[in-house]
Amino acid sequence: MAGHSKFKNIMYRKGAQDAKRSRLFSKLAREITTAAKAGNADPAFNPRLRAVIATARAASMPKENIERALKKAEGQDAENYEEIRYEGFGPGGVAIIVEALTDNRNRTATDVRTAFAKNGGNVGSSGSVAHGFDRLGLITYPASAGSAEAVFEAALEAGAEDVDSSDEAHEIWTAPEALHEVAKALEARLGQAEGAKLAWRPRTWAALGLEDARQLLKMIDALEDSDDVQAVYGNHDIPDEVAEQL
């Protein structure tokens, strides 16, 4: 089950700066509203909504922000966001998947294509890279949640499929349909998770040198700067010796 951790290479990165935190809250609010409109507004009957609210709480999103996003879904004038997935290639041939929620396809497409083009990448057609990833449930805990052995044991008993542990965090992977049951079982053992969501996990990894890694990180930052981009995933592997130079 457990394997070599690539947590530091996952493109989901929490921003410490206030600006990034504000942008994160805005994106989470959009996801909460969309999930509530697409299903039941009661999290108890809407697995997707439960997951994003759990992620919002783990990110310390204020309770009033969450409630405001839920109420917004009930309004007749609430924006209708469309879910779009972009696929492409970054520096060093890294496969990239970008998930977006937008009310303006042209604006989002321009943002995404510009981020790729200015940083040595190119947007591909639908399905051009998704075949190299698995769509799975991902539950994230800080390293302080327990030792790798303790988290592995808890995850195994909860029904998880795989665990990656590192000095920074524990990533627990599940079958998509088992995400919420596993998350609930783990909460009883390990406490509140940092996040619980469906994610893309690479089947193979592309090791990068210094220049490609530096340019790829610029691309990620540019993509995440777009209000419409919800998440970015890639199969990049940045070796420790390269990461130290970054």
Q: What is the pLDDT of residues 72-114, one digit of tens each?
A: 888 765 678 899 999 999 999 999 999 999 999 999 999 999 9
Is pLDDT of 57 > 90? no
Q: Is residue 94 part of a domain?
A: yes
The token pair at 65 is 């922000």
Same domain, 57 and 115: no
Q: Is residue 229 part of a domain?
A: yes
pLDDT score at 42: 85
Same domain, 122 and 210: yes
Is pLDDT of 14 > 70? no
Determine which of 37-41, 158-162, 232-236 has the lowest per-residue pLDDT on average.
Answer: 37-41
Is pLDDT of 65 > 90? yes
> What letter represents residue 61's amino acid?
M
Same domain, 66 and 169: no
Q: Is residue 1 part of a domain?
A: no
Is pLDDT of 176 > 70? yes
User: Which helix (DSSP H) or strand (DSSP E) does residue 183 occupy?
Assistant: helix 179-190
Where in the sequence is the domain holding 237, given as residue range(s)? 82-130+204-245
Q: Is residue 8 part of a domain?
A: no
Q: Which of 185, 201, 217 is the last residue of a domain?
A: 201
At 40, is the pLDDT very low, low, confident or very high (cuts 50, 70, 90)? confident
pLDDT score at 17: 54
Q: Is residue 41 part of a domain?
A: yes
Q: Is residue 58 part of a domain?
A: yes
Q: Which residues contact 205 (CB under 8 A, 6 or more apart)?
A: 6, 9, 235, 236, 237
Same domain, 211 and 115: yes
Tokens 């619980």 correspond to 196
At 153, is the pLDDT very low, low, confident or very high (cuts 50, 70, 90)? very high
The token pair at 44 is 């108890």
Q: Is residue 189 part of a domain?
A: yes
- Summarize the confidence of residues 38-57 as an average pLDDT: 83
Is pLDDT of 222 > 70? yes
Determine which of 107-111, 176-180, 200-204 has the lowest per-residue pLDDT on average.
Answer: 176-180
pLDDT score at 131: 95
Q: What is the mean pLDDT of the chain?
A: 87
Percent of the chain with pLDDT over 70: 91
Asked if 202 and 171 count as a contact pair (C-beta separation under 8 A), the reply is no
Domain count for the chain: 3
Q: Is residue 9 part of a domain?
A: no
Residue among 99, 176, 91, 85 nearest 128 (CA): 85
pLDDT score at 2: 37
